[in-house]
Each structure stands twice: as C-alpha cells, then as structure tokens.
Chain A
Amino acid sequence: DSGVTQTPKHLITATGQRVTLRCSPRSGDLSVYWYQQSLDQGLQFLIQYYNGEERAKGNILERFSAQQFPDLHSELNLSSLELGDSALYFCASSPSPDREMAQYFGPGTRLTVT
C-alpha cells in the first residue's frame, strides 16, 4: 500500500459524458501527478501539481482538466468522453517535484467508456 488513494476504482460511462477522478496523496506529499495507461501501453504523463499550482503538462487533451485543492487532494476531470479515453488513470505523489524524488502510485481508476 503506497499511501496514495484513488476513487472510484472502476467507472463505466457513456460517450459524451463527464467524469471526475479523485486522488489523495501520501501524507506529507505536496506534489501530485496524473498518468494515463491504455491497454498494453506505457504510462503517459498528463499533468503535475505542486502545492496547488500546476507545474507541468504532458499529453493532456483539452477535454481534460485537473486541479489540486488546499488540502492537497487532486481531481482529474474528463469531459466529452470518447471510446479512446478508456484506460487506467493513475495518480502518483511525491514530497516535491525534484529529480531525486520517487513517485508513489495509487491503485488507479479504471475508466470504461461505452
């Protein structure tokens, strides 16, 4: 157990809908990262927050947005969902966004778009 929690574990929704994925980082971690992992694909970096501020953006679609709240939990919002958005979405956290910091991953949210 990494100490990172994600809810929900599974989400099934229809195309065109909007969903929100939630992540609570490990106690003391200020940095949160979001990754997308499609079937048999690697981990694609989406976006990173540090202490409430967006710090880096990866391959995140315009239909996706995220934020980190004052209590440090983060939410990833996915809208106008398409079939291709079906994937595992992982959240990870670290104390700070530095090169020597390990990222600890949550259990993931499996999103299925039908």
Chain B
Amino acid sequence: QQPVQSPQAVILREGEDAVINCSSSKALYSVHWYRQKHGEAPVFLMILLKGGEQMRHEKISASFNEKKQQSSLYLTASQLSYSGTYFCGTGAYSGAGSYQLTFGKGTKLSVIP
C-alpha cells in the first residue's frame, strides 16, 4: 500500500522552515526518506525505525509516530540546495523475508532566494 505524502508541493524562501508528512494505512516497521533533484537519482537522507530515535541529516530531521502510522520530515532554515522532490518509503516483508519499500508520490520542494 502506497504511503500518502502531504503537501504535494511547497515553495519556500531561503531560511524558512517546512514540514513534509508521510502517512500509511498499515503498521510501519520503518520509514525511509530520499531526496531527488531533477534529472538525478534519489539520494538517501535517513531511516527511522520502529522504536528508534528521531534522526537528523544536517538541518533536516524526522520523526516517526508509530501509533499514528506516520512520519514527518522537518526542514529547518531551508537552503537553495534543499530544492527537490522528497519521497518517503514504507515497507513490508515479502514471503521470502526481504524488506520491500513502497514509495509515496513525492513532495516537490522549491526554495527561492
């Protein structure tokens, strides 16, 4: 089941903050966050595990609420380099015991001067 991301798109001025949400209708074992710039490959940001701590990557942090089955990505004091599409991925174990990610449709973040 594909996680739902919100908002679909957001425009920020440099220095502003933003929150991107990722919700699932199923219980979550982990949430993966990736950023993809136009024409490039997705780049890993961080993983949040069930029962784990809040994670941080530079000025980007994320939380994982197991009860609500959702994760939020917090971008603080945004920089131009934060522009891109952010994807969350939630997973399930296959019959063979492998963890398979399903990605949301993405949130397009544009940071302007």
Contact = CB atoms under 8 A, between A and B. Distances in A.
Interface of A: 2, 31, 33, 41-45, 48, 50, 53-58, 90, 97-108
Interface stretch (B12-20, B36-44, B58-66, B68-76): B36-44
A53 B98 CA distance: 11
B41 A55 contact: no
Interface residues of B, number: 28
B49 A108 contact: no
B100 interface: yes
Contact of A45 (B97, B102, B104): B102
5 contacts: A48-B94, A48-B100, A55-B94, A55-B96, A99-B99
Contacts of B104: 42
With a 10 A CB-CB cut-off, give which of B89, B91, B96 has the most chain A CB atoms: B96
A99 B103 contact: no
B97 A55 contact: yes
A42 B98 contact: no
B101 interface: yes
Nearest to A44: B103
